[in-house]
Structure 1
Amino acid sequence: MKIITLNLNGIRSAWRKGLADFLDREQADLICLQETKAQRPQLTAEMVAPGPYQGFFHDALKPGYSGVGIYTRRTPDRVVEGLGWPDFDAEGRWLQVDYGRLSVVSLYLPSGSSSEARQQVKFDVMARLTPLLRQMLADGREWVICGDINIAHHNIDIKNWRGNQKNSGFLPEERAWLDLLFDDIGWVDAFRVVNQEPDQYTWWSNRGQAWAKNVGWRIDYQLVSPGLRDAVRTARIHKDERFSDHAPLIMEYDLSLPAPTPDETSD
């Protein structure tokens, strides 16, 4: 099973930059999208359902803002839009598809970089997610949470770590939250299961020559439940072309989608 996660920084912009051809070449099973920045009526038919994929979306109420989506080759047993938190769901940040006992999520965690008020929103969402993420690992399902977490975890995950320790995305409180997820609750950073190298970045600032000099951050993740740790096979950050200020994170798992439910195969 191949799963891609990508913050688009605008689906229409990414489409103009060749995203459709990339998806056609990669032939992934699922593609999790963040920051679509569009309402579904604004999308072309190809953007909604490219090639062999069905598209599911959870848009923000505010036009041109946030939003998540998932492209999948097979109709899910269930689709869950949002978490039932009105403020969070209004920003279109959680979309979940279920297949048997496997759930795949596209998550876009708030960024706190624009203001102190938004940093507090980010901290609040992190606090509310903590018991949910603990409960999810106790429910007997297997999980793959894909998305832009907007936090670099360790020094090797950010180029200028010394100068960013007081900046959103690398604050001690944010990094400690990831420690909690991985070391206490038990979530697995799937990328690091197969790649322990430094300088593995998924986002670059548009300022200066960050992309050219590879001055980046690894803030896009695939988080998996412990039962899937041994299923992780490969991880690749696609940098041959650019669709966004983020790069696609492409991972392969020794998994297949559970067989369709009887309702799926009935006439």
Structure 2
Amino acid sequence: MFKLTSLNLNGLRSAATKGVADWVAELAPDCICMQEIRVQASDIEGRFEEMAGLKGHFHFAQKKGYAGTAVYSRHAPSDVVIGWGDAEFDAEGRYLELRFDTPTRKFSVISCYFPSGSSGEERQAAKFRFLAGFFPHLLALKREREFVLCGDINIAHKEADLKNWKGNLKNSGFLPEERAWMTRLLDAGTEGAGLVDVYRHLKPDTTDDCYTWWSNRGQARAKNVGWRLDYHLATPAIAQLARSEEIYRTVRFSDHAPITVDYDFTL
């Protein structure tokens, strides 16, 4: 099995103080994709180059204490792609792709941190720019290779993906335009990208147990007033190999919960 995990850390150093490395050691994934690491190269040196025996790869934001992505991997990649070619968002450290290519297979694991638009109109406009540019990137990538994109997508796709959907119809993360983008991404028709939401492939009808993010306000986590914002998005052939999933809630490393999927193949 290939065990793949995704987790928005809300700060690597913060999550480290809460025992995330011990948890990774116990979980023993092949790869763990991390978002919002909020560190620079100088913070990594001598401390975070490895975690639980996995080698770390990083895409740092230019702005200190902001965004950033990482992938810790048990397997050495054949190539590491830092950024997806958009200057605005590559400066924010939002995309890291590890390629594991062989003569018979082209396969990538991607850690991606989509922008949030919740802080105001300016960031929502940036989020829409990201979505507009990222769709053709994924479409082109899918023509070339199999992949799983793990990440904090910052979009709850359907009503089942958040507790209070009626109250969030006009809020970032559940806007009609964002949801339509997700629908098109998952559409297997000529207008869509044909990717697969792996969690929904395995658990098509789950509601309250599907959430991966809770606000820090109003006892949202205690009351399970959550959103499903963290995804595995896979090419169809890889999605068909998904066998089981787990959203881990026992220990809280950040305002997100890690999601792990076991895929029936090995690197």
How high is the TM-score relative to the length of structure 1?
0.94
Which amino acid in structure 1 is aligned with residue 243 of structure 2?
Answer: R
Consecutive unaligned residues of structure 2, counting only runs of 5 or more, are none
**Residue in structure 2 matched with residue 23 of structure 1 by the alignment:** 24
Deviation digits for residues 58-104 of structure 1 (CA, Å, limit 9, x no counterpart):
00000000000000011100000001221111100000000011101
1:236 aligns with 2:246: yes
Structure 2 residue corresponding to 1:170, chosen from 170, 174, 179: 174
Q: Find 1:186's aligned residue among 167, 171, 194.
A: 194
> In structure 2, the residue corresponding to 1:211 is in which secondary structure?
coil
In 1, Cα distance between equivalents of 2:158 and 2:86? 30
Equivalent pairs, count: 256
SS at match of 1:206: coil
Identity of matched residues, %: 50
Partner SS state of residue 185, structure 2: helix
Cα deviation for residue 50 of structure 1 reads 1.6
2-structure distance, mates of 1:186, 1:74: 28
Q: Within 1, Cα distance between the matches of 2:85 and 2:254?
A: 29
Q: Do 2:62 and 2:93's aligned partners in 1 also have CA atoms closer than 8 Å?
A: yes
Q: Contact 2:6–2:230 (CA<8 Å) still a contact in 1? A: yes
Distance across 2 between alignment mates of 1:143 and 1:95:
12
Identify the match of residue 121 of structure 1 among 118, 126, 140: 126
| 1:22–1:44 Cα change, 3 Å | farther
Amino acid at match of 2:173: G
**Aligned mates of 1:161, 1:241 — CA distance in 2:** 26
Aligned 8 A contact 1:203 1:219 in 2: yes
Q: Which residue of 2 aligns with 1:142?
A: 146
Distance 2:90 2:193 in 1: 24
Residues 92-138 of structure 1: CA distance to partner in whole angstroms, max 9, x if unpaired? 00000000111010000000000101000000110001111111221
Q: How does 1:3-42 map to 2 (within 5 A)?
A: 3-42=4-43
Aligned to 1:198: 207
* Residue 211, structure 1, aligned to residue 221, structure 2: yes
* Alignment pair present for 1:43 and 2:80: no
Shift of 1:229: 2.2
Give the match's secondary structure for 2:116. coil
SS of the equivalent of 1:111 reads coil
Cα distance, 1:46 vs structure 2 = 4.1
CA distance in 1, matches of 2:138, 2:224: 32
Corresponding residue number in structure 1 for 2:100: 99
Shift of the alpha carbon at 1:52?
Answer: 1.6
SS in 1 for 2:260: strand
Q: Structure 1: any 5+ residue segments left out of the alignment?
A: 258-267
- State whether residues 22 and 52 of structure 2, in contact with CA within 8 Å, keep that contact through their aligned partners in structure 1: no
What is the Cα deviation at residue 42 of structure 1? 1.1
* 8 Å CA contact retained: 2:84, 2:137: no
Cα drift, residue 246 of structure 1? 0.2
Instruction: Report whether the alignment pairs 1:73 with 2:77.
Output: no
- Give 1:19's aligned amino acid: V
Deviations 1:196-220 (A, max 9, x none): 2111100000001100000000000
Root mean square deviation of aligned Cα: 0.9
- Runs of 4+ residues over 4 Å off in structure 1: none
Following TM superposition, by how much is the alpha carbon of 1:43 offset from its aligned partner in structure 2, in angstroms?
2.7
